[in-house]
């Protein structure tokens, strides 16, 4: 069986998809960044795998658990489905070298700026790395993308779908 590779759009979560309220994990605190659902739908329709890669050190800090992160993502997915948008995979890193929860107090290769989550996705999903890119709002996102040898586009706020249109123009010109 042939394995058809697809481009992937790696998206940071807090500050890119949802408004970053600081350690956001309660479903009722989900506020989409302007244009984020439309951007994800645009990526779905363009044939991209949409992969979230998010540092969640709040787990290591004892603010919430991994089940809370999963619940938040399930809620996000349900809200996106209402507008015909879909995230294909979520990768969340609960670790932090200075965490207060012993099980998560690890300098882990998944934590951005390290590229672990991206590299795992590239391994686990049918992704064409050369046609893939990442959008993030922090220097650590750009560093993770560079380490994984994919393009990184820094999003500094505004409408994510407008931003994505400019990204796709650059990607298609490359």
Closest CB 102 distance from Mg ion, rounded Å: 26
Instruction: Give the one residue of 7, 14, 42, 121 binding Mg ion; rule: CB under 5 A.
Output: 14
Active site residue 12: yes
List, in sequence order, every residue forming a beta bridge with 114; answer none if it has no partner: none
Closest CB 141 distance from Mg ion, rounded Å: 7
**Counting contacts by CB under 5 A, is residue 161 touching Mg ion?**
no
CA distances from 74 to 79, 88, 124, 127, 169 (A): 9, 12, 21, 23, 31
Six token digits for residue 90 = 């979520």
Six token digits for residue 106 = 């690890």
Q: Which of 56, 137, 61 minimizes the C-alpha distance to 92? A: 56
Applying CB under 5 A, the span of 5-13, 31-39, 108-116, 157-165 interacting with Mg ion comes to 5-13
CA distances from 82 to 24, 29, 35, 78 (A): 21, 18, 14, 7
Active site residue 107: no
Applying CB under 5 A, the span of 11-19, 57-65, 144-152, 153-161 interacting with Mg ion comes to 11-19
- Cα 158 from Cα 47, distance rounded (Å): 24
Instruction: List strands edge to edge, sheet with 133-136.
Output: 89-93, 49-55, 8-11, 133-136, 151-154
**Counting contacts by CB under 5 A, is residue 153 touching Mg ion?**
no
Closest CB 104 distance from Mg ion, rounded Å: 19
**Residue from 14, 88, 110, 137 carrying the catalytic annotation:** 14
Instruction: Give the one residue of 9, 11, 12, 145 binding Mg ion; rule: CB under 5 A.
Output: 12
Closest CB 168 distance from Mg ion, rounded Å: 21
**Counting contacts by CB under 5 A, is residue 15 touching Mg ion?**
yes
**Counting contacts by CB under 5 A, is residue 137 touching Mg ion?**
yes
Enzyme catalytic residues: 12, 14
Q: In the complex, which residues of this chain contact Mg ion (CB under 5 A)?
A: 12, 14-15, 137
């Amino acid at each position: 069986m042939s394995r058809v590779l697809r481009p992937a759009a790696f998206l940071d979560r807090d500050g890119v998809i949802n408004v970053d309220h600081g350690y956001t994990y309660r479903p009722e605190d989900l506020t989409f960044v302007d244009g984020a659902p439309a951007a994800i739908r645009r990526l779905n329709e363009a044939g991209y795998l949409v992969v979230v890669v998010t540092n969640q050190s709040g787990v290591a800090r004892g603010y919430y658990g991994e089940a809370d992160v999963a619940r938040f993502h399930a809620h996000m997915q349900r809200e996106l489905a209402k507008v015909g948008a879909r995230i294909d995979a979520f990768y969340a890193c609960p670790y932090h070298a200075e965490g207060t929860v012993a099980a998560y107090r690890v300098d882990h290769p998944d934590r951005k700026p390290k590229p672990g989550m991206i590299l795992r996705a590239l391994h686990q999903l049918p992704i064409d790395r050369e046609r893939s890119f990442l959008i993030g709002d922090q220097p650590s996102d750009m560093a993770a993308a560079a380490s994984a040898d994919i393009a990184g586009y820094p999003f500094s706020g505004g409408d994510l779908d407008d931003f994505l249109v400019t990204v796709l123009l650059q990607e298609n010109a490359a």
